[in-house]
Chain A
Amino acid sequence: AQTVTQSQPEMSVQEAETVTLSCTYDTSESDYYLFWYKQPPSRQMILVIRQEAYKQQNATENRFSVNFQKAAKSFSLKISDSQLGDAAMYFCAYRLNSGGSNYKLTFGKGTLLTVNP
């Protein structure tokens, strides 16, 4: 079974600085997707960024970027120029991309990010 591990239950960063959230996963598959979701205090889950496993180039969305290391099964999220609105719980997630398994998103336990002014 696929598992997703976020080893940092909590992280903090100063406003305007950079922070990296870690995520590792376990799979024997080669075709899959990885995601980072953000859950602010409103508890609305918001997609931050996604990565397709067969693409070597790391995904980037404005201040958010990932470091995808397929061989190491690592998928870290870097937030640059951190803003107060980035404070949230961040979840790493994995989804297999094949046939009937095109359904299940497996989540890590989350990292709570605090942004200090």
Chain B
Amino acid sequence: DGGITQSPKYLFRKEGQNVTLSCEQNLNHDAMYWYRQDPGQGLRLIYYSQIVNDFQKGDIAEGYSVSREKKESFPLTVTSAQKNPTAFYLCASKLREAGANVLTFGAGSRLTVL
């Protein structure tokens, strides 16, 4: 079955450590996204990528980095510069062309900083 796989589902990190969240899709989607979800805040866009080897900052990119070396993969690194990284992270994807407007989401990764 096609879909988006996020791993790990739960991750614990000590302060000062970088961590990388994995997002893989087998939907042949062009565009991929990372959202952060905090209680009472809805979803906020961190980074997005519309094609391989290209990505743009979203609304809250500070302290995060991404890469898009393959169409199916869009990993997110939470760096030590992110001041409040404890959150639920959602990866999503969609076809790039106009009219393909529905995002498909992964099951999410919960990051906790100890």
Are B105 and A104 touching (Cβ within 8 A)?
Answer: no
How distant is the Cα of A46 from the Cα of B92 in the complex, in angstroms? 11
Give CA–CA (A33, B98) in the complex, Å.
12
Give the interface centre of A4, A33, A45, A46 by most chain B CB atoms within 10 Å: A45
Which residue on A lies nearest to B50, using beta carbons? Answer: A103
| A47 with B102: CB separation less than 8 A | yes
Q: Does A28 contact B (CB under 8 A)?
A: no
A75 within 8 Å of B by Cβ? no
Set of chain A residues within 8 Å of B33, measured between Cβ atoms: 103, 105
- A42 touching B98 by the CB < 8 A rule? no
B42-A110 in contact (CB<8A) = yes
Query: What is the size, in residues, of chain A's interface with B at 8 Å between Cβ atoms?
Result: 22
A50 to B99, CA, bound (A): 12
Residue of A nearest to B98 (CB): A102
B31 touches A43 (CB 8 A): no
Asked whether any CB of chain A lies closer than 8 Å to the CB of B17, the reply is no
Contacts A104-B58, A107-B42: A45 and B90 contacting too (C-beta < 8 A)? yes
How many A-B residue pairs have C-beta atoms within 8 angstroms? Tell me.
50
CB-based contact B45/A109 at 8 Å: no
Q: Are A33 and B107 within 8 A (Cβ)?
A: no
Q: Are A44 and B42 in contact (CB under 8 A)?
A: no
What's the least CB distance linking A30 to chain B, in Å? Answer: 16
In chain B, positions 29-64 with a C-beta closer than 8 Å to chain A are 31, 33, 35, 40-45, 48, 50, 56, 58
- Complex Cα distance, B92 from A102, in Å, reads 14
In the complex, the answer to whether B105 meets A44 with C-beta atoms within 8 Å is yes
Chain A residues in 8 Å Cβ range of B107: 42-44
Supposing A44-B108, A47-B102, A97-B98 touch, asked if A91 and B45 sit within 8 A by C-beta, the answer is no
Additional A-B contacts beyond A43-B88, A44-B105, A105-B43 (15; CB < 8 A): A9-B40, A44-B107, A45-B90, A45-B103, A47-B102, A50-B101, A91-B42, A91-B43, A95-B101, A103-B31, A103-B56, A105-B33, A107-B42, A108-B42, A110-B40
